[in-house]
Amino acid sequence: MSIKIGNDNKINKSQIGHKLNSEPPQKGNFFSNHPVITGLIVTVIGGAILMFSFWESLVHKIESFF
């Protein structure tokens, strides 16, 4: 048993599979495209803020409760 497709088993002007949408991918902003770098930047900024001296008085007040 043999199967013949087209003219001498040659496929011309055919489309195999489904045609995908040809919409270009949407570009996100820097923060959504690079979450690891964003996390590192936020961590460094947060660490720098926590190093300020006004936190020291707050820590002493919290420690006085315990």
| Residue-wise DSSP of 1-66 | -----SBTTB--S---SPPPP-PPPPP--HHHH-HHHHHHHHHHHHHHHHTSTHHHHHHHHHHHH-
Q: CA torsion angle for 18, 19, 24, 29 (degrees, to 10)?
A: -10
Q: CA torsion angle for 19, 21, 27, 31 (degrees, to 10)?
A: -80
The structure's pTM equals 0.47
pLDDT at residue 65 is higher than 60: yes
List, for residues 6-56, the tens digit of each pLDDT value: 566 666 676 666 666 666 667 888 888 889 999 999 999 998 888 887 778
User: Residue 12's pLDDT is what?
Assistant: 66
